[in-house]
A and B are shown apart, each in its own frame.
Chain A
């Protein structure tokens, strides 16, 4: 039997030398070291031996078992190293094939821009205040210092509804009146708000003009609000929105609800002011209309214009988006073609 054990031992050592993969190694283990394998078989049949041989045989059998286990551990290292090498060598794929498409949702570009504006203005203490789309003539015009039949009304082509005196708001400025009256506590509390919303104009829809668009108005009213604050505030905004080097300029302009009134330009962030298609070769891009709240408007909002002052500004989120991404057709925004939307 001892002879037989030695034969098995020798045979096992020979067999393991030709084991090349882990599957074969498991098979080898089953054959020699498994519970039904040869070595255990021999150990189990130890009772068949004469008593005096049993101790020697047992000792030898355990030695063989230990030796085979050690050989297996050794072989396992070689096999797994070889297998790893094979896997690394053979498991190559064409990494230039496109990924498996995974549909994703996304926000409308106007929402992206509005959120950025909410965030920046929110950081600067301006909170969002929203008001209605369908307005009365009084709030949209008269209370903003634009009397009926006044030539200033030519600045806004208006959609009238079939109810006399009810229109679609032409700008978010009526929100100034609502905000002052609602938040101003009859002219006793300072205000700092932004007023986003959809506006409507009776204008032919072309690549450059829309009948419906967002505006974002800002309003600060306080006992000590100065035009230089307007400049500082918009400069701060421009640096956050367009980058730390953004430069702005004021151009004198006219809005009935502000005085002094200005247009705000930012130095073209695409060409650095050298002149390009986006800035129409002027080096500047118009980003807002702004000014000091007109005394009549302050009065209509409940404030005493000799004690209180304020500034207001209005921005066009779609225009800002167009400038940023070189979008040449404003009609893309409400057309909702997925080929456009999916680029955001």
Chain B
């Protein structure tokens, strides 16, 4: 909300610089997002900092208050006039201008009352009013259609006040002499205040002024809420019927007869423009003005139109919920279909307006209106918010009502509004107010034991200070038996009752007392029991292991689309036993958590797999690098038919592609692309790093993976992950054209559950080892894991090491066979092995592999 300092000062004396006031307001919860300066220089206050403003500062000598004494025609141009300006000098300055709002004074001779305006002398800096872009200029003498001109009467745009203008700025008599520096007349600061929802009472200049008053310890100068009512009574002219008092707690009306619709006075138009409102006519402007001034929105009806609708009888205003099928044509030129919760202002003939939000077109004020019926009502804020959302309408009235306006404000608004209408348009106000207030709201009362303040704030504030703060905030407060008995001011809706009311009051006291006066304490309360968060610790350990393996962590959007993920599974997973599927979180058949209101179509459902995220990341990076080694840890989400909330599992995803090593200038290492065994080494490295034992690798049937070059990991019989080359069909679908992608996905919760925290460490022995190599030729289909298992079994305790160092196919090995070569390490922990012992074990291995695998020693 924009708050002009000049307007604020009408309600409270401000004797501190605007920058300091902004700081005080911000600390008290009214965050001043920015300050907009009009004409005056930015101030500097010790300890308070704002961004440097680049606004136009009006030169005190060269931009001054001017009084146009006469408007003469330009001899050679119809669209220019000569303004004779008194700028406090010895003679009038003739100034050529094209301002259309001077044309009506052209050739009328010396003016009875001068036209007050802003006058810029030669050399003054102003905004260029004729430039499309924001541009400054220095005034220089030049001829305009033959007439020399060196000064200027300025528009709002040229002064940098606002864009929208109709010629030069014209002011009501400022009560200051011509030649006064314009800074002293129009210099101003706009406070751009961001209000949190609890500060509904501050959606007006007066509301902010009350806060300023409490902060500065100054009284509020309230405007007059009296109306000069000299016409015959309003009784009998209109009736009110409230059908839903919960939704419409109060409805008030006043009547102004025989008035004239005309432009609002200049000061009112100027203020409305400062806060971003476009002036229309005095009646509409007053409704807006009151809305911004005291925060009570008003609505004006053309009384005669209402009366005509009522067949010349007394109109009755009815507030009610819609009847089925009812519609309303609103001021924004829309025909609205009304919803069952939309509270309406109606008469006997139908709907007049959407209560508290927007008026209807039919009974609005027109230029020919003479009798104005003014409404100030009160509405349930929750219902108004709902209506604004469902009807997709946003108005200044609706904004305030949806945050909460207290019913006590209606009577103030309807009286002050009608009086301002009378002052600006003439006519006579009917005596009395029609006021329906079926359920009066009592001001909030709170009993707050004094010790609660210390219990919750931890600081000592004296009772005198507390009472002082509450007094400035217009609370009524007294202390009895160490309990504060407090009555909130009637305009406040944010003070609750019971324990909530106590918290509300404590916050008010703390905020005005100043959090900067609060000191630090150390928690004196007992320390709750501390426990080990094993899941998190293991997860972080997994990250460390993966980083040590050379992988880079990514974190991705967890939103995707089912279609995007479907592209990762070219064919459905192979059918599996039901029992197996039930216990396997990696093969989940749950459905997607889908968004009802996605922001973009490509982020419409919560992911089922990390593979999509990792592949997207690989695609992103493909543009800049060829070598990628990535991992991600994060949730996947499966919706269940039988539960409201989905299952969330933590998964680990891996992706590697491109050169095995990073290449540099030395070029002494081959940069072959990674393959399955690079990824497998990482999987093994991860399991070793986490001390997960007994992992088994089997051929995988994961639908996203190459069926021949992928594996599933099982630990203690449980399926915990799949990894391998991305299925070529998937690679084609995602348009991956570089070196093959190797990916993997693991059930992280399952993996971490298998971590053996108490893993045993082998003793170190110094007995000498005996090293022997063995090369075995066998059928190609025999899996390496099987060979290793058989060798280990046959080798028994003495076989301490087994390393595969060669896999060979081709001449002289027969077709369909392969040779596997291992280095074996034999050693006993307690003695030096004899040649004979070694030979015996070695022979046993050779015989066993021959018997069990059909393997023969390679010649």
B511 within 8 Å of A (CB atoms): yes
Chain A residue nearest in CB terms to B553: A108
Do the beta carbons of B595 and A251 come within 8 Å of each other?
no
| A window 176-220: CB within 8 A of B | 183, 189-192, 198, 200, 202-205, 211-212, 220
Known: A105-B550, A149-B382. A337 touches B624 (CB 8 A): yes
In the complex, the chain B residue whose C-beta lies closest to that of A151 is B197
**Chain B residues near A190 (CB-CB < 8 A):** 525-528
Question: Is B850 interfacial (CB 8 A cutoff)?
Answer: no
Question: In the assembly, what is the distance between CA of A115 and CA of B537, in Å?
Answer: 11
Q: Which B residues are CB-close (under 8 A) to A282? A: 49-51
Asked if B785 is at the interface of the complex by the 8 Å CB criterion, the answer is: no
Binary contact track A329-344/B, C-beta < 8 Å → 1, others 0? 0000111111101100
Residues of A within 8 A of B382 (CB): 147, 149-151
Cβ contact within 8 Å between B522 and A253: no
Could you tell me which residues of chain A, from 293 to 344, have a CB within 8 Å of some CB in chain B? 294-296, 305-306, 309, 333-339, 341-342
Which of A45-53, A82-90, A158-166 lies on the face that meets chain B?
A158-166
A119 to B598, CA, bound (A): 36
Bound Cα distance A39, B507 (Å): 106
Indicate with 1 or 0, residue by residue over B182-207, a CB within 8 angstroms of chain A CB atoms: 00000000000000111110000000
Whether A226 contacts B457 in the complex (CB less than 8 A), given A105-B550, A149-B385, A260-B510, comes out as yes
Count A-side interface residues using an 8 Å CB cutoff: 101
A149 / chain B contacts, CB cutoff of 8 Å: 382-383, 385-386
- Note all chain B residues with C-beta closer than 8 A to A133: 558, 606, 635, 637, 648
Nearest B residue to A107 via CB reads B553
- When chains A and B are docked, how far (Å) is the Cα of A295 from the Cα of B28? 22
Q: How far is the CA of A176 from the CA of B55 in the complex (A)?
A: 46
Q: At the interface, yes or no: A23 with Cβ under 8 Å from chain B?
A: no
Instruction: Identify which of A103, A260, A337 contacts B506 (C-beta below 8 A).
Output: A260
* Residue among A165, A225, A339 with max Cβ neighbours from chain B (10 Å): A225
Residues of B within 8 A of A136 (CB): 644-645
Q: Does B546 contact A (CB under 8 A)?
A: yes
What per-residue 1/0 map shows which CB atoms of B608-630 lie under 8 Å from chain A?
A: 00000000010011001101111
Which of the candidate stretches A6-14, A55-63, A67-75, A228-236 sits at the interface with the other chain?
A: A228-236
Q: Are B523 and A101 in contact (CB under 8 A)?
A: no
Q: Considering the chains assembled together, what is the distance between the CA atoms of A342 and B529 in angstroms?
A: 39
Contacting pair B458 A227 (CB below 8 A): yes
Determine which of B511, B531, B646, B663 lies in contact with A134 in the assembled complex, contact meaning CB atoms within 8 Å. Answer: B646
**From residue 140 to 167 of chain A, which have CB atoms closer than 8 A to chain B?**
147, 149-152, 154-155, 159-163, 165-166
For residue B572, give the distance in angstroms from its CB to the closest CB of chain A: 24
A250 to B458, CA, bound (A): 15
Q: Are B665 and A97 in contact (CB under 8 A)?
A: yes
CB under 8 Å from chain A, chain B span 428-462? 454-459
Chain B residue nearest in CB terms to A335: B620
Q: In the assembled complex, how far is the CB of residue B541 from the closest CB belonging to chain A, in whole angstroms?
A: 12
Whether B520 sits at the interface, judged by CB under 8 Å, is yes
Q: Report which of A159, A161, A262 forms a contact with B515, defined as CB distance below 8 A.
A: A262
> B252 contacts the other chain (Cβ, under 8 Å)?
no
Q: Would B555 and A110 count as touching, CB distance under 8 A?
A: yes
In the complex, A90→B596 CA distance in Å?
74
Judge whether A232 and B523 touch: CB under 8 Å. yes
B 488-511 binary contact with A (CB < 8 Å = 1; else 0): 000000000001101110110011
Residue contact A339 to B624, C-beta cutoff 8 Å: yes
Contacts of A107 in B (CB 8 A): 543, 547, 553
- Within the complex, what minimum Cβ distance (angstroms) separates A311 from chain B? 9
* Cβ-based interface call for B472 (8 A): no
With beta carbons under 8 angstroms apart, the residue of B27, B458, B552, B593 that contacts A252 is B27
Indicate with 1 or 0, residue by residue over B206-223, a CB within 8 angstroms of chain A CB atoms: 000000000000000000
Chain B contact-residue range equals 35 or more
Is B766 among interface residues, defined by CB-CB distance under 8 A? Answer: no
CB distance from A248 to the nearest CB of B (A): 9
Residues of chain A contacted by B627 (CB below 8 angstroms): 103
B525–A292 contact, CB under 8 A? no
Which residues in chain B, 789-823, are within 8 Å of chain A measured between CB atoms?
A: none
- Residue pair B504, A259 in contact (C-beta under 8 Å): yes
Chain A: which residue is nearest B661 at the CB level?
A: A103
What residues on A are CB-neighbors of B199 within 8 Å? 254
Contact A98–B665 (Cβ < 8 Å): yes
Tell me the residues in window 99-122 of chain A with beta carbons closer than 8 Å to chain B beta carbons: 99-108, 110-111, 115, 118
Q: Does B576 contact A (CB under 8 A)?
A: no
Q: With contacts A227-B456, A232-B521, A251-B29 known, is A192 near B527, CB below 8 A?
A: yes
Interface-centre pick from B197, B402, B639 (highest chain A CB count, 10 A) = B197
In the complex, the chain B residue whose C-beta lies closest to that of A210 is B557
B662 at the interface (CB under 8 A from A): yes
Contact of A233 among B523, B595, B603 (CB under 8 A): B523
What mask results when residues 9 to 46 of chain A are scored 1 for a CB within 8 Å of chain B, else 0? Answer: 00000000000000000000000000000000000000
Q: Inside 8 A of A99's CB, which chain B residues have their CB?
A: 664
Known contacts A261-B507, A283-B49; decide if A205 and B599 are in contact (CB<8 Å): yes
Q: Looking at B403, B555, B664, which has the most chain A CB atoms within 10 Å of its CB? A: B555
Q: CB-CB < 8 A to A97: which residues of B?
A: 665
Q: Which residues of A contact B528 (CB under 8 A)?
A: 125, 183, 189-192, 222
Inter-chain CA distance A280–B31, complex, in Å, is: 15
Closest B residue, CB atoms, query A282: B49
User: Which residues of A sit under 8 angstroms from B511, Cβ to Cβ?
Assistant: 252, 260
Check if B694 is an interface residue, CB within 8 A of chain A: no
Whole-angstrom CA separation of A205 from B559 in the bound complex: 13
Q: Is B540 an interface residue (CB 8 A)?
A: yes
Cross-chain contact A111 with B555 (CB below 8 angstroms): yes
Determine the distance from Cα of A189 to Cα of B504 in the docked complex, in whole angstroms. Answer: 26
Complex contact B553–A225 (CB within 8 A): no
Given the known interface contacts A107-B543, A296-B500, the answer about A232 and B527 at a Cβ–Cβ threshold of 8 Å is no
Once bound together, how far apart are the Cα atoms of A159 and B50, in whole Å? 35
8 contacts between A and B (CB under 8 A): A136-B645, A151-B403, A202-B599, A222-B526, A227-B518, A306-B499, A334-B555, A334-B556
- If A134-B593, A162-B595 are given as contacts, then 19 extra A-B residue pairs at C-beta distance below 8 Å, sorted by A number, are A103-B661, A105-B546, A107-B547, A128-B536, A133-B606, A150-B382, A151-B403, A162-B594, A163-B644, A223-B526, A226-B454, A226-B455, A250-B27, A252-B510, A260-B507, A296-B500, A333-B555, A336-B554, A336-B621
Q: Which of B's residues lie within 8 Å of A, judged by CB?
A: 26-29, 31, 49-52, 196-200, 381-383, 385-386, 402-404, 454-459, 499-500, 502-504, 506-507, 510-511, 515-516, 518-531, 533, 536, 540, 543, 546-559, 593-599, 603, 606, 617, 620-621, 624-625, 627-630, 634-635, 637, 639, 644-646, 648, 661-666
Closest 7 CB pairs of A and B: A226-B458, A228-B458, A252-B29, A222-B525, A250-B515, A232-B520, A254-B196
